[in-house]
Structures are given as structure tokens and as C-alpha cells.
Structure 1
Amino acid sequence: MLSTLELRNIIERSFLPTRCQCTQAADRSLTVRVYDRSCEQVDLLVTGISTEPLNSSRAISNLIAGLRNDLEDQRNLRALHRHPGGQSR
């Protein structure tokens, strides 16, 4: 099993060039923050990620894919709120 430091590094690097910060809570769960490159606003915040199931490259890849999907959903939702009805202002 990877150390938490190695796991955090893998997750953070997977979002480059976008800034990603992965921290460990007291209960050993992870918190992931992915920032908007243009304004340093948090685009995605996920807390309480258990490290126990992250014991294979496939499990880590699945986590990262899920985070990327969540990030894309958040960005699409934010764009929709900026431009309701799909029309640009």
C-alpha cells in the first residue's frame, strides 16, 4: 500500500496544470480541493475520502476519474448559472 504522502502526490499531480490540494484529516480521510486556474476559487471540494480502498492503481485511477467527472459537472453547472438557457451575455 502507498503512503498517504505518495497517494496525495499522485492525486495532486493528476490535475496538473490545474492546482489541486490534497490533505489528510485527523481520521485519516482525505480532502481534495481543485482550484479554478483563472481566479484561485475552489472549483471542487470533496471531503471524507477513505484511503482504505485505495490499495491498487485501479482504485486510485477510479477515484481520480470520479473526481474529474465531479469537477466537470461543477464547471458545467457554474457555466449554466452564468448563462441561463445556454445564451451568452
Structure 2
Amino acid sequence: MLFTPQLRRTLESGFLPLACECTVMPGGTLMVRIFQPDTGQLALRVDNLSIANLTTVRQVAELVAELRYDLRTCVTPFGSSPASLVGSQGA
């Protein structure tokens, strides 16, 4: 497992203009929050992502692509994300 500051920056900058925060959790998992930077409105939150295989920028880029797909496809017609994918609104 190698989750360096460079890999974190790559992941966190992959959703611009939205903001992204990554938190390494105990047990080697990652929590990713993607939100509107001006309002703090949560767009997507994913918990328990394994970082065991995030050892290169390419692997992080593939994760960004997967999360972008989730962000595009997991939105209701009214613009809100399903509660099962996001936690409470925050920021």
C-alpha cells in the first residue's frame, strides 16, 4: 500500500470543479467525499474503498474514472444522490 501525497492530490483534483476530500481510515480503507465547494452540498460519498492496490498514479486515475461514472449515473432525476451512496450532508 502506497498512498502518497501525490496520489492523494491526483484523486482530489480529479473532480474539478467539484471539491473532493479523501480520508485514510483505520484498516487501510479510504473515505471519499465529493461536494460543491461553495455550498458544501454533498454529491457523492463512498466509504471503505481499499487502498491496498492504489500504488500508482494510473491506478488512482482508474479509481477517479470509476467514481466519475458513479457520480454521473447515481443521480436521481431531481438532482440528488441516493441516500445509500451518500451520508448526511455536510461541510
Which category of TM-score, normalised to the shorter sequence, fits these structures? 0.7 to 0.9
- What is the CA distance between 1:57 and its match in structure 2? 3.1
**5+ unaligned residues in a row in structure 2: which ranges?**
80-91
| Alignment correspondent of 1:63 | 63
Structure 1-normalised TM-score? 0.72
| Alignment correspondent of 2:78 | 81
Q: Relative to structure 2, which stretch is displaced further, 2-11 or 14-23? A: 2-11
- What is the CA distance between 1:5 and its match in structure 2? 2.8
1:47-78 Cα deviation digits (max 9, x unpaired): 11111111233322211100001111233x2x
- What is the CA distance between 1:41 and its match in structure 2? 1.2
Q: Identity over aligned residues, as a percent?
A: 34
Structure 2-normalised TM-score? 0.71
Greater helix fraction, Structure 1 or Structure 2: 1
**5+ unaligned residues in a row in structure 1: which ranges?**
83-89
Per chain length, whose mean CA-contact separation is higher, i.e. which structure has more relative contact order (CA < 8 Å, sep 6+)?
2
Give 3-state SS (helix, strand or coil) of 1:21's partner. Answer: strand
Structure 2 counterpart of 1:43, which letter?
A
1:15-48 Cα deviation digits (max 9, x unpaired): 1221111111111211100003563211100111
Q: Distance in 2 between matches of 1:40 and 1:74?
A: 19
Matched, 1:34 2:31: no
Give 3-state SS (helix, strand or coil) of 1:59's partner. Answer: helix
- Aligned length in residues: 79
